[in-house]
């Protein structure tokens, strides 16, 4: 019995301690709540006063109706405004960024040279009334920084440049390019500063990847942009002709070059076997479309080698992948009977 009373007493003591902790925690929560509430009232009271000064960013952009000039370089795109006003108004500008961009027209402003660069100088004080009119009621403009802006200008030049396709092209099995890849338009007019135009010889398309082509492809693609340049056209149409092919071959006689008239050639073998890919829409090539020769102009006729390399002298410009054999032939040089007569 005594043991039960001891356990009960110990449990009661533990329960009282927990209740005390909960009461203390509750008081702490109430204290924190009222501290937060008083802080909010203090902030609201502080923001209602009109003696705050702060800095705000004011966006600007430039226009110029003179198409023969360009704005280049690192040009400032905003002004720093020092303003004074009520806390709520200032807080609203900081949170919402609601200034509309101020346009500054450079047309007709006198051109000056500054540190080797030609441009215009703008006094930001001229825009003070316009900017102050965009501030909220109760706010005043104290200062504008910087007080002057320099906008560099360069001549806007024009140059016609070819368009080049930047693409990786893979064909499906038994398919090949059926002709010349065309681009429309094949050239464009590019305008911009001379220091950039002078470095360019062509304008590339944006990188393309064409895989497993089995039919002719026509695609509208964009052009790679270059800073400070303007294009007469931003897109072009490319045409990649594709068709199936078959394997074909033809036998072409070997002739000699660089031999004196007193000698004639006998080659072993006397013909080259040419294997090539032929588009199904095209007629087979004839032996006369090719030319293979042994060039004796680079051979010592007094110390002849056993064999000479076969040189390809002519082939059709539109032929697909081709190969030929043999690459070297043995030969005999005989006196020309017609020459001896």
Give how far the C-alpha of residue 203 lies from the chain's centroid of Cα atoms, to the nearest Å: 11
In 3D, which of 54, 101, 58, 108 has the Cα closest to residue 79? 58
User: Distance between CA atoms of 72 and 61, rounded to whole angstroms?
Assistant: 13
Q: What is the CATH architecture of 245-340?
A: Beta Complex (2.170)
User: Distance between CA atoms of 109 and 120, rounded to whole angstroms?
Assistant: 7
Q: Which helix (H) or strand (E) holds 33?
A: helix 2-47
User: Distance between CA atoms of 325 and 1, rounded to whole angstroms?
Assistant: 117
The order of strands in the sheet holding 203-204 is 203-204, 157-164, 187-192, 230-231
User: Distance between CA atoms of 79 and 73, rounded to whole angstroms?
Assistant: 17
pTM above 0.85, yes or no: no
- Reading phi first (left if > 0) and then psi (alpha if -120 to 50, else beta), residue 73 is in left
The CB-side HSE value for 175 (13 A sphere, CA atoms) comes to 16
CATH superfamily assigned to domain 157-240: YbbR-like domain (2.170.120.40)
Beta strands in 185-327 (DSSP E): 187-192, 203-204, 208-213, 217-222, 230-231, 235-240, 242-257, 263-268, 271-279, 291-295, 307-309, 311-314, 322-325
Domain ranges of the chain: 52-155, 157-240, 245-340
User: Which fold does the domain 52-155 belong to in CATH?
Assistant: RNA Polymerase Alpha Subunit; Chain A, domain 2 (2.170.120)
In 3D, which of 256, 274, 183 has the Cα closest to residue 221? 183
Read off the DSSP letter of residue 303.
S
Position 1 scores a pLDDT of 38
User: Distance between CA atoms of 310 and 90, rounded to whole angstroms?
Assistant: 87
pLDDT per residue rounded down to tens, the chain (341 residues) = 343 445 446 545 655 665 565 555 555 555 445 445 555 445 455 545 556 777 888 888 888 878 888 887 778 888 888 887 766 566 666 556 567 788 888 888 888 888 778 889 998 888 888 888 877 766 778 888 898 889 888 889 999 999 999 999 999 999 998 889 999 999 999 999 988 999 999 999 999 999 999 999 999 999 999 988 999 999 999 999 999 998 999 999 999 998 888 888 899 999 999 999 888 888 889 999 999 999 998 888 888 898 999 999 999 987 878 999 999 999 988 887 665 55
Q: Which helix (H) or strand (E) holds 87?
A: helix 87-96
Position 268 scores a pLDDT of 93
In 3D, which of 58, 76, 71, 257 has the Cα closest to residue 152? 71
* 52-155 against 157-240: fold identical: yes
In 3D, which of 152, 144, 147, 181 has the Cα closest to residue 164? 181
């Amino acid at each position: 019995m005594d043991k039960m009373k001891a356990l009960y007493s110990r449990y009661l003591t533990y329960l009282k301690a927990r209740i005390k902790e909960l009461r203390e925690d509750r008081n702490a929560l109430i204290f924190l709540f009222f501290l937060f509430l008083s802080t909010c009232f203090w902030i609201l009271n502080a923001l209602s006063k009109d003696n705050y000064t702060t800095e705000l960013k004011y966006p600007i952009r430039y226009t110029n109706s003179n198409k023969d000039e360009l704005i280049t370089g690192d040009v400032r795109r905003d002004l720093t405004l020092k303003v004074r006003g009520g806390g709520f108004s200032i807080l609203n500008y900081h949170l919402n960024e609601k200034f509309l961009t101020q346009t500054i027209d450079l047309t007709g402003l006198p051109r000056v040279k500054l540190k080797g660069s030609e441009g215009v100088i703008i006094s930001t004080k001229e825009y003070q009334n316009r900017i102050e009119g965009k501030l909220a009621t109760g706010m005043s403009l104290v200062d504008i920084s910087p007080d002057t802006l320099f906008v560099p200008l360069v001549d806007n030049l024009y140059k016609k440049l070819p368009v080049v396709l930047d693409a990786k092209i893979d064909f499906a099995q038994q398919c090949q390019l059926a002709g010349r890849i065309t681009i429309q338009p094949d050239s464009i007019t590019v305008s911009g500063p001379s220091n950039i135009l002078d470095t360019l010889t062509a304008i590339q398309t944006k990188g393309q990847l064409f895989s497993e082509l089995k039919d002719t492809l026509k695609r509208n693609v964009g052009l790679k942009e270059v800073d400070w340049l303007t294009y007469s056209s931003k897109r072009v149409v490319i045409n990649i002709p594709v068709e199936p092919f078959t394997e074909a071959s033809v036998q072409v006689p070997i002739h000699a070059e660089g031999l004196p008239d007193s000698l004639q050639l006998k080659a072993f073998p006397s013909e080259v076997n040419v294997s090539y890919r032929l588009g199904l829409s095209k007629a087979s090539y004839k032996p006369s479309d090719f030319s293979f020769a042994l060039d004796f102009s680079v051979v010592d006729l007094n110390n002849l080698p056993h064999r000479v390399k076969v040189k390809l002298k002519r082939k059709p410009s539109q032929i697909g992948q081709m190969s030929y054999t043999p690459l070297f032939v043995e030969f005999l040089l005989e006196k020309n009977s017609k020459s001896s007569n």
